[in-house]
Amino acid sequence: MGILTQVQGLLASRGIEGYLTGGYIRDRLIGRESQDLDIVVNAPAMQVARFLAESLDSKFVPLDEENEIARVVFSAEVPDHLDLSMMRGAIADDLALRDFTIDAMAIKLEDINMPAPTIINPCDGLKDLKAGVVRSVSEEGLRRDPLRLLRAVRLAAECGFSIDNSTAEQIARHHEMIATVAAERIRDELCRLLGVSPAAVWLRRLDELGLLLAVLPELAPCKGEPQPKEHFWDVLSHSIETVATIEFLLHASDVEYLGKQVREAAPWHPQLEDYFSEAISSGHSRLTLLKLAGLLHDIAKPQTKTVEADGRMRFFGHSQEGAAVAGGIMARLRFSNRERDMVATMIEHHLRPGQMARDEEMPTRRAIYRYFRDTGDVGIDTIFLNLADHLAARGPTLEFDEWLRHANAMRYVIENRLSQDNVASLPRLITGYDLMERFGISPGPEIGRLLEAVHEAQAAGEIASREDALIYAGGLLKEAK
């Protein structure tokens, strides 16, 4: 790699010894693309990083001054940055302080252009890499940085590896320590895990190890919480299963109890692949946020549960309360305002898609308009949350005819939204000035209400011209008197 050759030359000019370590070596050996460039140097890393940044016309970013860790950010390179740390003792000593054996390997920078550079491997990481095992270098290493407890699962998920039994026991033993880690670091690990498909498998693994409820304690009341007979699983298991059915619907993974015909009946459109790949903030995609909404969508069911005289369970208001709880969780984990709003909106309205149509009828244009007006830029996301919720509620007892009716209605709504003549692209027929001029109305909230009512009627196909709109607004004003 060109940038590493340049870095090696600059280090050599100062008599500094450097080693490429960690994720880059691991990923290249198993054939994965890697954005992790980590270099250890036998000199103060802060000084070295400043020198490299100046020499390469790049940006210097201090990450941890106390422990001598810094970043050099490049303007036009892939990967776009490298991290430098100061070597702790000899290279073998430094690697022994790493998190997992498959990351505790190094290559001397001066050897990187050799056809088969020597891999320094004091913790037997190559053996674990070939076996597909995530194994801690030491239990003390997990305690020293408790984020490694969560990172072990994320790493196994991304690489398709298993977690060594002894390491799993260590994680379970110390799972509560994850609560001491900075919120942003937990958020990023959780989102990377949710970005994997299948993520639901690994959410179950987090739960087995005690990490899921340590990271998201608000989910604790959901575990074992029973649901009405229409549901196959308790609240927490259903929530995790919803993540699995989201992945199933978006063609990311299979679900054992759902057959090919269930997926074929589900709505799909070529535009949706790019749509759900959209990066929203900090690299988190729409799909990742949809999975998070799936995990949290019923989080308020325990607190809203009532049981009627006939034994029937109700969860009145759980969508609205769940949106508030989820918003609080995401605020705690330092998600952006937009991400919080997106997930909260999905959760608040996750029952709405199923309420738009009655029996065999397709949703009306008015219903579709109102739905997308209220859900904004997550209307389609919320439909897929609703579809996944349906599948995860019934589980293996799914009635196909019922699913087909619901899926067809949602296909109709999505196609209406994505079509060229969808209501979002309809031009406004009148303005507030037109209303004030025709009816002598003063500026105020009434103008906004009339414009919204006119636009809804236009979306329903009831009016199509400026004069139609003014007549319709006049009728509304008469009704209001």
Residues 366 and 231 grouped into a single domain:
yes
The CA distance from 328 to 321, in Å, is 11
Residues 223 and 370 grouped into a single domain:
yes
Residues 256 and 346 grouped into a single domain:
yes
Write the CB contacts of 217 (distance below 8 Å, at least 6 apart in sequence): none
The CA distance from 378 to 83, in Å, is 36
The CA distance from 182 to 144, in Å, is 14
- Domain at 143, CATH number: 1.10.110.30
Counting Cβ atoms within 10 Å, is residue 279 exposed (0-12), middle (13-18) or buried (19+)?
exposed
The CA distance from 294 to 318, in Å, is 14
pTM of the model: 0.88
Chain segment 197-220, per-residue pLDDT in tens? 999 999 999 999 999 999 999 999
Structural domain for 335, as ranges: 219-423
- Domain at 10, CATH number: 3.30.460.10
Total domain count for the chain?
Answer: 4
Residues 194 and 94 grouped into a single domain:
no
pLDDT of residue 423: 56
Residues 352 and 398 grouped into a single domain:
yes
Chain segment 408-461, per-residue pLDDT in tens? 999 999 988 887 455 556 778 888 888 888 888 888 888 888 888 888 888 777
Residues 317 and 465 grouped into a single domain:
no
Element (H, E) at 281: strand 279-281
pLDDT of residue 439: 84
Cα torsion through 95, 100, 102, 106, rounded to 10: -20
pLDDT of residue 1: 60
Question: Distances in Å between the alpha carbon of 11 and those of 51, 103, 138?
Answer: 9, 23, 31
Q: Which of 174, 110, 115 is nearest to 147 (CA)?
A: 174
CB 186 within 8 A of CB 240: no
Tell which of 98, 131, 164 closes a domain: 131
Residues 241 and 334 grouped into a single domain:
yes
Residues 312 and 283 grouped into a single domain:
yes
Residues in the chain, how many? 481
State which residues of the chain have pLDDT below 70.
1, 76-79, 359, 420-425, 481
Q: How far is CA 26 from the centre of its chain?
A: 24
Residues 121 and 161 grouped into a single domain:
no
Residues 68 and 99 grouped into a single domain:
yes
Question: Distances in Å between the alpha carbon of 151 and those of 48, 128, 329?
Answer: 28, 17, 20
Residues 416 and 279 grouped into a single domain:
yes
3-state secondary structure (DSSP) of residue 30: coil
User: What is residue 229's DSSP assignment?
Assistant: T
Residues 229 and 368 grouped into a single domain:
yes
Q: Which of 343, 346, 416, 358 is nearest to 384 (CA)?
A: 346
Tell which of 215, 245, 274 closes a domain: 215
- Domain at 301, CATH number: 1.10.3210
Tell which of 96, 131, 166 closes a domain: 131
